[in-house]
Amino acid sequence: MLGGMRSVAAASGCPSALLTLRSSCPLPPAAARLLPSIDELRAPPRALLVGICYTGSADWKLQGAWNDISDLLGWLSTELQWPRRSIRVLSDRLRSASLQPTRANILRHLEEWLLMDERSDDDPGQSCRLLHFCGHGGTDE
């Protein structure tokens, strides 16, 4: 199914579109093991989850971005037992200015938190970093 969707996206002028599939059915065992559990890591994992529904714009409004990051937060915490302190959420549903998914906040959280310590030589490859973005894509130079 994703292969067919990828073909449609490429034919529509979006050859590099990244497509995902969401299902309320349980994940097959192979898919569930794509990310390591806390027991498989020697260093703490980190995840940055970004969900933007664009509620202030009728033309850009999305319906499911908040649900997607909430579901992933629950899955990381419950199934993989990643500590909640290892997961940061930026969303236009949150009231705090520092947690709004602005370009500046996303870049700051990437640099100062998600990638922090990843460049050190301590236990290379012994942790996991995850960036999950739910929203519209575009370019900004």
In a domain, 15, yes or no: no
Residue 17, in any domain of the structure: no
Q: What is the pLDDT of residue 43?
A: 86
pLDDT at 24: 55
Domain that holds residue 60: 43-118+126-141
16-27 pLDDT, tens digit per residue, is 655 555 555 565
What's residue 121's pLDDT? 46
Residue 78 covered by a domain: yes
Residue-averaged pLDDT of the chain: 79
Provide mean pLDDT across the span 94-118: 86
pLDDT digits (tens, 9 = 90+) for 55-102: 777 887 778 888 889 989 998 999 899 999 999 999 988 889 989 988
Burial of 4 (0-12, 13-18, 19+ CB in 10 A): exposed
* Residue 29 falls inside a structural domain: no
d(CA 40, CA 53): 34
Q: Is residue 36 in a domain? A: no
State CA 129 to chain mean position distance: 10
